[in-house]
Structure 1
Amino acid sequence: MMKRFLSLMVLLALVGCEKPHDDGWLGYGEGDFAYISAPQPGWVTEMGVERGKLVRRGDLLFVLDDAQQQASHDQAQAALAQARASLTQERSNLSYAATELSRQDNLAKAGAGTPSQRDQALTQYQQSRARIAQLEAQIRQMTASLGGAAYTLSQRRVVAQTEGPVQDIYFRPGEYVPASTPVISLLPPANVYARFFVPETELAKVHLGQQVRISCDGCKPMTATITFIAAQEEFTPPVIFSVGNREKLVFKLEARAPGGLPLHPGQPIQVRAL
């Protein structure tokens, strides 16, 4: 009897000493960075931001050399101006040709003109109309070309299409940037989310669309929704490994909230299911 009593006391002591898994799942803040590049290569001539600066839509980020693009724009603009001047002159010629044709028609009706003079006036009138149609077509094409040149020139000044703090700058003034190579990275607030890891033994407790409570040192608790559950397990990442969280195999999960979470990438968090 005494032996059974001692065994029961030992069992109760062990249960009492066992620390429940109530610290939540460990993880950290993460973000989908926006990498800003230019569609064409060039030399960086001006940097409008610094690391850590909060930028708004429309803020200047950086400028690439634009001498070639400016020259192409000016050339297209000059060609269009010349074509428009030619069109104005040709319309004046058409007015004169129309007046001359009308005069020859009146002379022919009065029997004072000659057929050859009228034919010559008609030919000049028709040729003037043809030149006007040709110039109008050229002007439409040149206008489109000027618009393209203006757009290409504007792309040398890269402005922010989203807002967020500047995370990193990869090129500085005086450096050459290949086409489509990121120059700056931003982190839009809406792109910040929570990444955490659940032991395989607890995976059945979570599902997509489930709400979780996120907490961290010095911040207010926040609610997010699970949007991703990894299909395969992985070893516990070193960044969250601890004596109290030493399960070898865990599943990576992500949780997001409308407008993003007020976290910093890499910031430690604890996550609990709701």
Structure 2
Amino acid sequence: MEKIKKFILPVAVFLLLAAIGGTSFANSQNGKSAVEFVSPQKGDIVDQLRFSGKVQPKNMFDLGFERSGKVSKVYVKVGDKVQKGQLLSELNPEEANISYSQAISDQEVSQAQLEQAKNDMNAQKAKLKSVEKSSTANKYDEKYQQEIKNQSEDNIKAKEALLKKANETVQNSSVQMRKTKLYAPADGIITKQALEQGEVVSAYVPVISLMWDSTLEIQAYVSEIEVSKISLGDKVQVKIETNQTENLEATVSIIDPAETNLSGVSSYKVAFIPTFPVEKIKSGMAVDLILNLGEKKDALIIPSKSVFKEGEKSFVLLMVENSQIKKEIQLGVADQNGSVEVLSGIGTQDEIVSFNSTK
């Protein structure tokens, strides 16, 4: 925008500013200051949103043991590539081994007792059959042998129940044995490893993180007002803090419908998928995101530092025959370069004060 004149704040302007009580413009004037006289210009202005984001793995497993115990072995470190089913770490298995061995022993005893009960019943069946065939057998003998046979059958059922319980104990003990080992659920890269040999860990507490493919995304938390301006599929510019000159792009892939409370402020998580090679970024990197909401062609533009507020109303200082008049204006789009669109109140023929603090 063309700058017409620039000089130290004249007395008349200073007095007018001092008379504007409670305005954001007047309240900001501390120390030595200067003003410019500028005229609104016709031009193009881009409405933008800017926010910060962080590179995160899109697909991540947070892994933990399914039982508590003391870590005996750790086989991986951050950055290691692992394959599905690979052993990552294990707990001291001594307690689980003892329980499993006892369960196996109880199972073997129960199996032997069941076999003995079956043999006893078979013997009773044979004896009962012999008594039934004997010409000298009486009813008492037959009844007694039948009772013995029934008792044997009941004994078998009891032993079968005990064996079933022993089998279940063996199965549960086997599961507990497996829980002392932590395996990779998929191919991937270890991004976190918080284990030390000898430390005690609790069940279901994440101790290893596995990024199971190379896909990265950018996550940002935006305000309630900003998220209403973002749509799925929108393209944003990505500026890496270590390389602000490279032009990169990403696409909005997810907008969380539920709010997240960050320090008492309602925010919404938005995810972006890079459309550039992911080798340019790494997990954990901070990036700046710029979303162009639209471009206004042939708009009337002034410096945003020309504008001051009184409540919800916007004003500028209009130069009229060497005097300054407070003039209300209606604003439109504001860009990130310090320019703002004027919808009504002044025109290109006008000259306004643009305050510039030089603290």
Q: TM-score when scaled to structure 1?
A: 0.72
Match of 1:225 in 2: 253
One-letter identity of the residue aligned with 1:103: S
| 8 Å CA contact 1:101, 1:122 repeated in 2 | yes
Change (3 A) 1:145 1:234: closer
2:282 corresponds to 1:264: yes
Deviation at residue 67 of structure 1 after TM alignment: 0.7
Deviation at residue 167 of structure 1 after TM alignment: 1.7
Unaligned runs of 5+ in 2: 6-37, 294-359
Q: Render the CA deviation track for 1:212-252: whole Å, top value 9, x for unaligned.
A: 346466897443424137869989xxxxxxxxxxxxx9966
Match of 1:211 in 2: 234
One-letter identity of the residue aligned with 1:154: R
Match of 1:92 in 2: 119
Deviation at residue 34 of structure 1 after TM alignment: 3.7
The SS at the match of 1:205 is coil
CA distance in 2, matches of 1:64, 1:103: 60
Change (3 A) 1:127 1:42: same
Change (3 A) 1:271 1:60: farther
Q: Render the CA deviation track for 1:6-60: whole Å, top value 9, x for unaligned.
A: 69xx648x778x9967796553313475432223221111112111112333221
2:219 corresponds to 1:185: no
One-letter identity of the residue aligned with 2:130: R
Match of 2:185 in 1: 161
One-letter identity of the residue aligned with 1:27: G
Match of 2:160 in 1: 136
Match of 1:52 in 2: 79
Q: Render the CA deviation track for 1:135-193: whole Å, top value 9, x for unaligned.
A: 11111111111111111111001112344321222121122223333322233448843
The SS at the match of 2:256 is strand
One-letter identity of the residue aligned with 2:73: E
The SS at the match of 1:128 is helix
Change (3 A) 1:196 1:165: same
| 8 Å CA contact 1:229, 1:254 repeated in 2 | no
| 8 Å CA contact 2:49, 2:292 repeated in 1 | no
CA distance in 1, matches of 2:133, 2:189: 78
Deviation at residue 266 of structure 1 after TM alignment: 2.9
Match of 1:244 in 2: none
Q: TM-score when scaled to structure 2?
A: 0.56
Q: Render the CA deviation track for 1:76-121: whole Å, top value 9, x for unaligned.
A: 11111111122122212211211111111111xxx32133332332
CA distance in 2, matches of 1:224, 1:83: 63
Match of 1:3 in 2: none
Match of 1:246 in 2: none
Decide which structure has greater strand share: 2
Quote the RMSD (CA, aligned, Å). 4.0
| 8 Å CA contact 1:200, 1:233 repeated in 2 | no
Identity %: 19
Q: How many residues align?
A: 247
Match of 1:75 in 2: 102
| 8 Å CA contact 1:87, 1:132 repeated in 2 | yes
Deviation at residue 204 of structure 1 after TM alignment: 5.1
Unaligned runs of 5+ in 1: 1-5, 236-248
Find 1:104's aligned residue among 114, 131, 144: 131
**Range with greater deviation from structure 2 (18-27 or 124-133):** 18-27
Decide which structure has greater helix share: 1
| 8 Å CA contact 2:223, 2:267 repeated in 1 | yes
Change (3 A) 1:44 1:157: same
Bigger radius of gyration:
2
CA distance in 2, matches of 1:266, 1:70: 41
The SS at the match of 2:113 is helix
One-letter identity of the residue aligned with 1:254: V
CA distance in 2, matches of 1:147, 1:39: 16
2:55 corresponds to 1:29: yes
Change (3 A) 1:81 1:251: closer
CA distance in 2, matches of 1:251, 1:128: 73
CA distance in 1, matches of 2:111, 2:191: 49
